Structure 1
Amino acid sequence: MANKRTFMSSRWLWLFVLVLALGGAAWFAWGEGLRRTSEAGTAYGAHVACSCRYVSGRSLSDCSKDKLEGMELVMLSEDPAEKSVTASIPLIASDTATYREGYGCVLKEWEG
């Protein structure tokens, strides 16, 4: 019985290593494009949601309905004290737009 458990454990270990290696290879191949697309998507989402919230005066939950197809992973949060909205894709990208009187919603400067 001990040999069967060891065999099963080593099989799961190899499967885990294989999945990890394939994931690493996929990230290496497509990660930079994914990161850049995510940065553009979060910047767009933050700007549109900030305008919806602080220029149009709608609630953030109502503004979430305006997301374009393909933006399901973008999460929105607001800071009412700063009059800002942050759009993020967890562990990949995040951007914040802040309402400025006379300018509308302005994205924070990108650091690239």
Structure 2
Amino acid sequence: MIFFAAAAVWWAYGDTIRGTAKVGTAYAARVGCSCNFVAGRSLDDCAKDKLAGMELISLSRDAEAKSVTATMALIASDTASYREGYGCVLEDQTP
């Protein structure tokens, strides 16, 4: 029964959920990247900067690529990379 209720919610609000998740991961990736690679704070400390409601978004760091990826499991993911002279910018996600 719970499965059918979850499926109905996803069917009715799936586009809204995906859109909100995409905005949240893009924001978290860019802020996390700036916090880590510009301000020099640890990624754990940077996770405190996420806004209320962003608890399901996780951050991961790639030190070699100087990037931070924000992920909402199975829904959305975005990566921001540090670029000298530009700061942290989102990676192009177009197919």
- Alignment TM class, shorter chain as reference: over 0.9
CA RMSD of aligned residues (A): 1.1
Question: Which structure's CA Rg is the greater one?
Answer: 1
User: Which of 28, 34, 40 lines up with 1:45 in the alignment?
Assistant: 28
Counterpart in the other structure of 1:24: 7
Correspondence 1:87 to 2:70: yes
Letter in 2 for 1:43: A
Q: 1:25-55 deviations in whole A, cap 9, x for unaligned?
A: 1111011100000000000000000000001
Higher helix share: 1
Letter in 2 for 1:98: S
Among the aligned pairs, what percent are the same residue?
A: 57
1:109 offset after TM fit, Å?
A: 1.1
Partner Cα separation in structure 1 for residue 94 and residue 20 of structure 2: 16
Greater RCO, CA 8 A, separation 6+: 2
Gaps of 5+ in 1: 1-17
User: Which of 15, 21, 33 lines up with 2:16 in the alignment?
Assistant: 33
Letter in 2 for 1:58: R
Partner Cα separation in structure 1 for residue 71 and residue 80 of structure 2: 12
1:67 offset after TM fit, Å?
A: 1.1
- Alignment coverage as a number of residue pairs: 95
Higher strand share: 2
1:24 offset after TM fit, Å?
A: 1.4
Letter in 1 for 2:76: A
SS of equivalent residue, structure 1 residue 94? strand
> Normalised by the size of structure 1, how large is the TM-score?
0.81
